[in-house]
């Protein structure tokens, strides 16, 4: 059964024209377009609100015979998920969008989809895959003649080359962009010009920092001069196309330039201005203000304050799965520790960065495999569906469930949490892990292991409370969430699940095979993702304690009556 659509969030701070467009929408098409416009707006402010609006737009658009609107909505939804660190979900939606665009001959939209997918790859740390997608998007935009798409791709390619340390290539892309803007309309030119000048400023700032590190005074002075000129041009462009986010970034660039020139008082003032924009925008997508403030404080020998800003940025990067930023921040923190003489912490942070890099490679491989799997599922869904709308719905439903067990997966849980009202707390959060599952695979076979997973999933589903959410959390681990749980009944609920597994005969498994689970549980005060994440971490720790205590038990045990 499909979950009911999540109610729309309150939108008291939405721009009046966007709110009015939604209120006066006379048909489903107008409502879907209005919801999508609001999602684009909130993408720069409140990501959870933006995603709920984009999902509502998708629900509204799917019954319509307008594949282009659905492709556009899927692309916006994926770009929001990229900012939230939901990379697997973003790739799923982009695969849907690409499949739909190809099957309907929407070549003019494929460019945008590839462009968004490149940004997701870039955030996840895959520069090679991002460049490949950007170049594919560029080729499609040239063929379709969409100058605005082509302009955006030049901006993004310049940003990628800058990140890769290839300043000449970045500047080449920006020169091509400037030539293209000469053929654009006034509105198109004014929309893109701030990005042209800001990217030039960022590239020259990078060259100035590199020259400073190498002691090349003349080269540094020239690069700083060009950076100042680009920043002045950016401010002028912003008078025609104001943007708080762009103002934040420009203030951060200015602070860093002032640090290079030794004007630390002025650097601090600009970093503080960037932080004001950061807080007033209520955004968590851009870390520039935090990074600039950290660098200014480090230059002022306020190492503790610098650590605080870096750690705040690191928490956001980890929350959103921004692996490239995580690597940068861990290196910066390690350098601060070394500068302060704390070599032990510097070494520990460096090791953390190496472990994070290994985990990132594994994550990227898993994402690529999921992407391949989804295209195969899409072909199957299209073959079984009555129309393209149903094929999208089928693929969306498949993407929310674990293929082996049929339970919700992590993306399915995320989407179901959005449907729960804020008063659904407290939520019981329990993690259950099959004991010695490696032994099942080793002694029998992986085929038997897969059957054991399916059997345990079925047993837990049959025993779980009716209103609970059951998730294949990963490997042999299952997550149970129960809204509006009674804390006094928590242990009994989880113990009932443990006993249901331990006392079962398992008729589909080899004779004599006994399965048990160890479980830990905690409570989330609300269904907000941050609360559920914190409770899951606590339940994981209790589950570990149950394993250490001998397995096949629940932790924490209920209090002993006085």
pLDDT in tens, 206-222: 999 999 999 999 999 99
State whether residue 503 is helix, strand or coil: coil
The values of phi and psi at residue 289, to 5°, are -65, -45
Whether the Cβ atoms of residue 271 and residue 311 lie closer than 8 Å to each other: no
- Exposed e or buried b per residue across 68-82, where buried means at least 16 C-beta atoms within 10 angstroms of its C-beta: ebbbbbbbbbbbbbb
Question: Which pLDDT score is estimated for 381?
Answer: 63
SS (H, E, C) 228-277: HHHHHHHHHHHHHCCCHHHHHHHHHHHHHHHHHCCCHHHHHHHHHHHHHH
Question: Which pLDDT score is estimated for 368?
Answer: 64
C-alpha–C-alpha distance, residues 532 and 522, integer Å:
9
User: CA torsion angle for 460, 461, 463, 467 (degrees, to 10)?
Assistant: 130
Is the pLDDT confidence value at 5 over 60? Answer: no
pLDDT in tens, 411-456: 788 878 877 876 777 999 999 999 999 888 888 888 899 999 999 9
Of the two residues 423 and 236, the one the predictor is more confident about is 236
Is the pLDDT confidence value at 293 over 90? Answer: yes
**C-alpha dihedral sign at 71, 76, 82, 85:** negative
User: Mean pLDDT, to the nearest integer, of 70-89?
Assistant: 87
Whether the Cβ atoms of residue 427 and residue 481 lie closer than 8 Å to each other: yes
E strand or H helix at 96: helix 87-103
Whether the Cβ atoms of residue 409 and residue 401 lie closer than 8 Å to each other: yes
pLDDT in tens, 16-58: 899 899 989 989 999 999 999 999 988 866 777 888 899 999 9
Confidence at 364, pLDDT banded by 50, 70, 90:
low
Q: Is the pTM of this model over 0.75?
A: no
Nearest residue to 272 (alpha-carbon basis) of 251, 303, 288: 251
Question: Which pLDDT score is estimated for 159?
Answer: 92
Is the pLDDT confidence value at 7 over 70? Answer: no
Whether the Cβ atoms of residue 173 and residue 196 lie closer than 8 Å to each other: no
User: Mean pLDDT, to the nearest integer, of 306-324?
Assistant: 85
User: Mean pLDDT, to the nearest integer, of 363-387?
Assistant: 64
DSSP sequence for 440-477: HHHHT-HHHHHHHHHHHHHHHHHHS-TT-EEEEEETTE
Question: Which pLDDT score is estimated for 2?
Answer: 44
Question: Which pLDDT score is estimated for 432?
Answer: 95
Confidence at 3, pLDDT banded by 50, 70, 90:
very low
In sequence order, the β-bridge partners of residue 521 are: 430
- Mean pLDDT for all residues in the chain: 87
Name the residue with tokens 């929310």: 400
C-alpha–C-alpha distance, residues 482 and 490, integer Å:
10
Whether the Cβ atoms of residue 445 and residue 437 lie closer than 8 Å to each other: no
- Work out whether strand 427-434 and strand 477-482 pair parallel, antiparallel, or are unpaired: antiparallel
C-alpha–C-alpha distance, residues 200 and 150, integer Å:
18
Question: Which pLDDT score is estimated for 299?
Answer: 95
Question: Which pLDDT score is estimated for 363?
Answer: 63
C-alpha–C-alpha distance, residues 172 and 436, integer Å:
57
User: Mean pLDDT, to the nearest integer, of 464-490?
Assistant: 91
Question: Which pLDDT score is estimated for 113?
Answer: 92
Give the whole-number percent of the chain exceeding pLDDT 70.
91
C-alpha–C-alpha distance, residues 330 and 348, integer Å:
10
Confidence at 379, pLDDT banded by 50, 70, 90:
low
C-alpha–C-alpha distance, residues 376 and 85, integer Å:
24
Question: Which pLDDT score is estimated for 11?
Answer: 78
Question: Which pLDDT score is estimated for 366?
Answer: 63
Cβ burial of 467 (10 Å; 0-12, 13-18, 19+) is exposed
Question: Which pLDDT score is estimated for 1?
Answer: 38
The values of phi and psi at residue 435, to 5°, are -75, 140
Is the pLDDT confidence value at 175 over 80? Answer: yes
**C-alpha dihedral sign at 141, 142, 146, 149:** positive
Q: Give the Cβ contact number of residue 49 at 10 Å.
A: 21
Question: Which pLDDT score is estimated for 56?
Answer: 92
């Amino acid at each position: 059964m499909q979950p009911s659509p999540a109610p729309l969030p309150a939108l008291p701070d939405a721009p009046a024209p966007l709110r009015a467009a939604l209120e006066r929408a006379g048909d489903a098409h107008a409502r879907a377009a209005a919801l999508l416009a609001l999602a684009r707006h909130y993408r720069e402010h409140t990501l959870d609100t933006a995603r709920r609006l984009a999902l509502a737009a998708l629900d509204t658009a799917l019954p319509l015979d307008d594949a282009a609107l659905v492709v556009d909505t899927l692309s916006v939804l994926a770009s929001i998920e990229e900012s939230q660190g939901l990379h697997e979900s973003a790739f799923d939606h982009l695969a849907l969008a690409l499949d739909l665009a190809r099957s309907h001959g929407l070549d003019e939209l494929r460019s945008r989809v590839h462009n968004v997918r490149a940004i997701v790859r870039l955030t996840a740390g895959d520069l090679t895959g991002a460049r490949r997608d950007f170049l594919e998007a560029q080729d499609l935009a040239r063929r379709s003649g969409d100058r605005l798409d082509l302009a955006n791709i030049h901006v993004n390619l310049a940003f990628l080359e800058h990140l890769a340390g290839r300043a000449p290539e970045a500047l080449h892309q920006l020169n091509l962009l400037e030539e293209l803007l000469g053929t654009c309309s006034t509105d198109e030119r004014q929309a893109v010009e701030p990005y042209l000048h800001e990217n030039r400023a960022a590239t020259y700032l990078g060259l100035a920092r590199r020259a400073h590190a190498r002691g090349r005074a003349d080269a540094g002075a020239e690069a700083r001069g060009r950076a100042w000129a680009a920043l002045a041009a950016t401010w002028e462009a912003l008078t025609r196309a104001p943007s708080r986010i762009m103002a934040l970034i420009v203030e951060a660039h200015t602070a860093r330039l002032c640090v290079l020139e030794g004007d630390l008082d002025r650097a601090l003032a600009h970093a503080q201005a960037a932080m004001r924009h950061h807080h007033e925008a209520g955004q968590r997508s851009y870390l520039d203000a935090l990074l600039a403030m950290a660098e200014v404080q480090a230059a002022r020998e306020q190492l503790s304050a610098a650590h605080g800003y870096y750690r705040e940025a690191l928490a956001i990067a980890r929350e959103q799965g921004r692996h490239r930023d995580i690597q940068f921040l861990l290196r910066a923190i390690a350098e601060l520790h070394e500068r302060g003489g704390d070599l032990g912490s510097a070494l520990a942070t460096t090791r953390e960065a190496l472990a994070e890099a290994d985990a990132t490679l594994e994550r990227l491989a898993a994402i690529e495999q999921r992407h391949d799997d989804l295209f195969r599922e899409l072909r199957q869904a299209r073959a079984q569906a009555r129309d393209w709308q149903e094929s999208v719905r089928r693929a969306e439903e498949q993407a929310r469930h674990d293929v082996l067990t049929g339970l919700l997966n992590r993306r399915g849980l995320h989407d179901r949490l959005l449907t729960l009202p804020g008063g659904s707390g407290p939520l019981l959060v329990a993690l259950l892990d099959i004991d010695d599952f490696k032994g099942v695979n080793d002694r029998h076979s992986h085929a038997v292991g897969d059957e054991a997973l399916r059997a345990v999933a079925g047993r837990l589903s049959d025993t779980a409370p009716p209103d609970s959410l059951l998730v294949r959390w990963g490997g042999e681990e299952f997550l149970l969430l129960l809204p509006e749980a009674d804390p006094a009944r928590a242990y009994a609920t989880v113990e009932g699940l443990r006993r249901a597994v331990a006392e079962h005969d398992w008729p589909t498994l080899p004779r004599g095979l006994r399965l048990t689970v160890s479980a830990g549980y905690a409570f989330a005060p609300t269904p907000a993702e941050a609360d559920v994440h914190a409770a899951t971490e606590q339940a994981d720790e209790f589950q570990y304690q149950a394993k250490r205590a001998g397995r096949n038990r629940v932790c924490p045990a209920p209090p002993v009556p006085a």
